[in-house]
Every structure is written in structure tokens, then in C-alpha cells.
């Protein structure tokens, strides 16, 4: 299991990520500040930080956002939050091909949060 320096710390019965062969599986990430453990203020900032937490963990195994082969986005309000997810992805992928995505509205997330993203990356061992 992976625990890169500077990443958020799991507080329960889960790990941040696992490498398996050429794949990196990152746990569902939310917009939690790695240092303080607090949720980011504001919906867009919260979503951006969730993606950045995911990206940081993937990067520790040599995978960029462009190497994501599946993301699943969980939102608690499709109409309001999906446009923000799109906006943040445009910004963070910065012209790289977007990954296959599934986006669904769930009833709730932990800590009454609004967004969680789960990413699977392809990062062949050299």
C-alpha cells in the first residue's frame, strides 16, 4: 500500500492507494487539506483539491492525470456540481486526453461532503 510523503493521511480502515502490476488504484479522494485535515472552503475549491489529492498520490508512482484510465465521480447534487467538476477537469488536465468517467449523484458522502473521486491509473513499471 502506498503512503507518499505530503499526502493526506487515512484516518480509518483504508489506504491511500495500491500498486498492482502496471496499475495504481487510488482510494476515493475528497477535498481534504493534507496538513490540517480540514475540508477546503467552497465547492469549486473542494472539488479541485480532491482531484489534486488524487493526482499527488498517483504521481508518487509515476502516473500523471493523463494516465488515468477510469475515474468515478460521486456528487451530492448533479445539477450544481457537475459543471464545477467539468471546469476543474478542464483546468487540471490542461489539454491532455480526459479519462473515461462515470458520474453519479449519491445520497451522501462521509462528513456530509459534496464530492469524491476514485481513480485508476496505468503506470507500467519501467
d(CA 67, CA 98): 9
Give residue 123's Cα distance to chain centre.
16
C-alpha closest to that of 40 among 56, 58, 52, 28: 52
Give residue 55's Cα distance to chain centre.
7
Which of these segments, 32-40, 41-49, 99-107, binds a copy of itself (CB under 8 A)? 99-107
Q: Please select the residue that binds a copy of itself; options are 8, 25, 55, 114, rule is CB under 8 A.
A: 25
Q: Does 4 bind a copy of itself (CB under 8 A)?
A: no
Select 40 or 84, whichever has its Cβ closest to a copy of itself.
Answer: 84
- x/- site string to a copy of itself, residues 40 to 59, per CB under 8 A? --------------------
**Beta strand pairing status for 68-75 and 23-29?**
unpaired
Binding site for a copy of itself (CB under 8 A): 1, 10, 12-18, 20-23, 25-28, 69-70, 72, 74, 76, 78, 82, 85-86, 89-90, 93, 97-110, 116, 118, 120, 122, 124
Amino acid at each position: 500500500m502506498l503512503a507518499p510523503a505530503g499526502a493526506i493521511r487515512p484516518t480509518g480502515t483504508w489506504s491511500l492507494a495500491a500498486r498492482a502490476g502496471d496499475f495504481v488504484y487510488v482510494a476515493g479522494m475528497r477535498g481534504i487539506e493534507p496538513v490540517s485535515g480540514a475540508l477546503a472552503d467552497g465547492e469549486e475549491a473542494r472539488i479541485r483539491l480532491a482531484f489534486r489529492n488524487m493526482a499527488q498520490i498517483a504521481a508518487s508512482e509515476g502516473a500523471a492525470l493523463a494516465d488515468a484510465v477510469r475515474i468515478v465521480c460521486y456528487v451530492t447534487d448533479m445539477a450544481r456540481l457537475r459543471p464545477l467538476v467539468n471546469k476543474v477537469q478542464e483546468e487540471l488536465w490542461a489539454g491532455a486526453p480526459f479519462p473515461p468517467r462515470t458520474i453519479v449523484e449519491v445520497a451522501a458522502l462521509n462528513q456530509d461532503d459534496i464530492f469524491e473521486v476514485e481513480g485508476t491509473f496505468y503506470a507500467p513499471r519501467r
